[in-house]
Structure formats: structure tokens, C-alpha cells
Amino acid sequence: MATGFRARHLAVVGLGLMGGSIALALRDYVDKITGIDSNQVTRDYAVEHGIVDEATDDLYEGVNHADVVILAAPVRVIVEMLRMQIGTYLRSNTLLIDIGSTKSDIVDAMANLPIGINAIGGHPMTGKENSGIEESDALLYRNRPFVLCSSRRTTPAARLRALLLVETLQAVPIEMDAVRHDQIVAGISHLPYLLSATLVATIENQAKTDGAYWELAAGGFRDTSRLAASDVTMMGDILSTNTKAVATLLAQFRMQLAMLETMLIAGDDQNLSETLKPIRTARKEWAKNYENKR
């Protein structure tokens, strides 16, 4: 695929599932890939499996000669890197993209990078049950939405280059501002995580006196509770950088839940059923229009 994306030297900061997969997907379009990670086992794995050409735990050394840098670390680590030193490490005209799960704090931090650094926020809507460099997959991004959020350091040329990069990953670029992005992911990702975790906490509390809760739990519980097994550090980072949007969605969720509960307790079966029907339709329409097409 000749999308036009090319880089001389790509640096990927953070060699996890996401960073490793980007490196694999961009392999044929860059001359050299450097991986930066604090974990030696991870670095060795990435080099031995040809995911990167070289790896280091030295951020300066790793990014200093790159013309494209991807920050694939947890949100608060990315924010920290942007605020502290990375701007001064980069060559002028470098394209800097992050793939953190919330965007407002990151795009705000990008605004204070030195002029000449071309920075844009990114959020690929993909993942896998298991994380880690050994799960890297060149097709992880294919057909998945990849949100791009411009910052005060996004030049028109940088934006186009980022779009080409996203297309080279075979992802679907979607541009929007960071605040809107964070509101949306609060609804489709952070709220579901909190519900999932709270469900597990509720059942765990019950199961203290009756182990049959765990024994009988089946497919419905499995799906609804799956997100509760997400990495706590990552989710803590995400929630703490998106508190306002999450709290707003939680308030709306409570309102909707109270409505259903009122009908349930009142025995208003007719109304309950009339309320649940369009919800069912909405879920089925979503699956038909989006999920099943991926």
C-alpha cells in the first residue's frame, strides 16, 4: 500500500501491545525504528523479534535523532514527559504523536512544547484481552477508529502527515477536539469500566456469604464484568485525567437507572417493557451498523 507515509527514523516510547503493534505496522515505511522502554526483558524481546531495530532505556538517546516519535505510554506518563523534558530532546520539525486514552490533558501539555515540534494527540480505539510486547500484531489497528486531536502545536503539514500515518496502520482516522473526545470515551469506555468494576464489587460482597454466586455466574456476567479485569494503573490514569466527563456521565446513568428501577418497583410492567424495547433496538442497530462491520 503506497499511502505516502515515510519516516527516516521512528522512535516508539513504550514497548507494550500498542507500541509494538505500531512498530510492526510501520516497519516497511520507515528506515529505522528505535524502541524506548525501561524494561530490559521487553527491550530484548522487541529487538530479537525484529519489532524494532534497536532499543534503549534512555529517552534522550532514543528520540534525539528521530523524525517521528510515538508516545505509547499510560496517560499520566505521557503528560509528565511532555511537561518535563521531551520537547527539548527533539529535533525541529519532528512529528510527535501520542496514543494515550484521554486527550485533553495531553493536548494541553502539547501546547507548551517548543515551537518547531509538531505535536498531535491520537487515540486508537483498539486493544486485546492481553497486553505486552509479545502480543504485538501488525493488524491491530486495521479498520478500527483512530482519533486525532489537534493541539496548538499541530501544523497543517503535521496533521496531514499524521493522517497518512494512521492510514498506513490501515486504521480509520477521525478528527475531533480533545474535550469532545474525552466526553465520548467517558461514555463508551470509562463509564462501562466503572459499571463493570462496581458489578464485580457487588457480587464479591454477596459471595462472601454464598459462594454459589461465583459458581452460577455465566455468560451475561462474564461479558458485563470483563472490563473489571482491566489494568488498574492504566484505568486509574484514565479516570483521573477525565474526572469531570466521567462524573457527568455517571450522573446521567444514575438518572436512567432510577427511571427503570421506579417502573420495576411499582410493578409497571407495561411501561418498563416500552422503555426497554427502544434500548434493545438501539443496541442491535449499533451492532449492525458498526460492530459487525469491523
Span 239-278, contacts to its own copies by CB under 8 A: 239-240, 243, 246-247, 249-250, 252-254, 256-257, 260-261, 264-265, 267, 269, 272-273, 275-278
160 lies in the binding site for its own copies (CB under 8 A): no
Strands (E), 139-215: 145-150, 172-175
How far apart CA 1 and CA 28 sit, in angstroms, is 10
How far apart CA 235 and CA 242 sit, in angstroms, is 11
| Minimum CB–partner distance for residue 185 and its own copies (Å) | 7
Q: How far is CA 151 from CA 83, 155, 159, in A?
A: 14, 9, 10
288's CB contacts (< 8 A; 6+ apart) are none
| Minimum CB–partner distance for residue 150 and its own copies (Å) | 16
Site for its own copies in 104-143 (CB under 8 A): 125-127
| Minimum CB–partner distance for residue 171 and its own copies (Å) | 12
Question: Strand 54-56 relative to strand 7-13: parallel, antiparallel, unpaired?
Answer: unpaired
Nearest CB to its own copies, comparing residues 92 and 292: 292
How far apart CA 119 and CA 141 sit, in angstroms, is 21
| Minimum CB–partner distance for residue 99 and its own copies (Å) | 14
Distance of CA 256 to the CA centre of its chain: 27
Question: What cell was used for 217?
Answer: 455466574
| Minimum CB–partner distance for residue 191 and its own copies (Å) | 7
Question: What cell was used for 266?
Answer: 411499582
206 lies in the binding site for its own copies (CB under 8 A): yes
227 lies in the binding site for its own copies (CB under 8 A): yes
91 lies in the binding site for its own copies (CB under 8 A): no
Q: How far is CA 59 from CA 18, 63, 89, 134, 252, in A?
A: 18, 6, 8, 22, 42
86 lies in the binding site for its own copies (CB under 8 A): no
> Binding its own copies by CB under 8 A: which of 17, 38, 200, 293?
200
How far apart CA 175 and CA 122 sit, in angstroms, is 9
| Minimum CB–partner distance for residue 166 and its own copies (Å) | 14
Nearest CB to its own copies, comparing residues 42 and 101: 101
Do 173 and 139 touch, CB atoms closer than 8 A?
Answer: no
> Binding its own copies by CB under 8 A: which of 84, 111, 115, 201?
201
**Quick one: which segment of 8-16, 29-37, 107-115, 199-207 binds its own copies (CB under 8 A)?**
199-207
